Amino acid sequence: MRCPSCQHEESRVIDSRTAGDAIRRRRVCSGCGFRFTTHERVELRMPWVLKRSGEREPWNREKLLHGLRLACRKRPIAESQVLDAALSVERRIHTKSEVTTAAIGEQVMEVLRALDAVAYVRFASVYKAFESVEQFADAIRASERTQDGAPPRTGVPEGS
C-alpha cells in the first residue's frame, strides 16, 4: 500500500476491524511513519448493465447506493443497513455477465420491501413511474402483505 504522504510503497498494518462489508485497516508507513486508514472490500466481478435504451455500461455501485439512500432518506435506517442492502443486491446479480436495469430494480425493491415499507414505496413509485393514487395504494398493500408473511401480489391472477 503506497503511503499518501511520501509515496513509499511499504506500510504495515497496526489494527484491523470489520466495518460492514469492508475491513478497516489502520496502517503506518515504513518510510516516514505517517499513519493512515484503508478500507478493503472483496471485489466481486460485477456484470455489465443493459439499459432500456440498449446501451451497455459497467456496473456502478455508487448509482445503486444513491438510489437506496434516496429511498431511505429521513427514515430510521442506519447507513450500515443501506450498505448491507447494496451488498445483498450485488450478491444476487454478481454471477451474471449482463443484467438489465429492470432486473436490478426488482432486486432493489425486494431488499427495500424487507427493510422499510416507506423506502420500498418511495423507490417503487419512481422505478415503476406511478401515475395514480391507486398505484401507490397497490404498492402499500403489497408491502403490508409481505410484512404480514403473505406473499406479495404480482398482478397475475391466481391459477394463470
pLDDT tens-place string over residues 69-90: 999 999 999 999 999 999 999 9
Task: List residues bridging with 11 in a β-sheet.
Answer: 29
Task: Note the pLDDT tens digit of each residue in 98-133.
Answer: 999 999 999 999 999 999 999 999 998 888 888 888
What is residue 127's predicted lDDT score, i.e. its pLDDT?
83
Q: Which amino acid is at 82?
A: V
What is residue 148's predicted lDDT score, i.e. its pLDDT?
57
What is residue 147's predicted lDDT score, i.e. its pLDDT?
61
C-alpha 117/C-alpha 98 separation (Å) is: 29
What is residue 150's predicted lDDT score, i.e. its pLDDT?
47
Q: Give per-residue burial for 73-111: e unless 16+ CB within 10 Å, then b.
A: eeeebeeebbbebbbbbbebbeeeeebeeebbbebbbbb
What is residue 155's predicted lDDT score, i.e. its pLDDT?
40
Q: Are 106 and 127 in contact (CB under 8 A)?
A: no
What is residue 118's predicted lDDT score, i.e. its pLDDT?
92
pTM beyond 0.75: the answer is no
Does residue 153 carry a pLDDT above 60? Answer: no
Task: Note the pLDDT tens digit of each residue in 4-61.
Answer: 999 999 999 999 998 777 899 999 999 999 999 998 887 778 899 999 999 999 999 9
What is residue 149's predicted lDDT score, i.e. its pLDDT?
55
Task: Note the pLDDT tens digit of each residue in 126-147.
Answer: 888 888 888 888 888 877 776 6
What is residue 124's predicted lDDT score, i.e. its pLDDT?
87
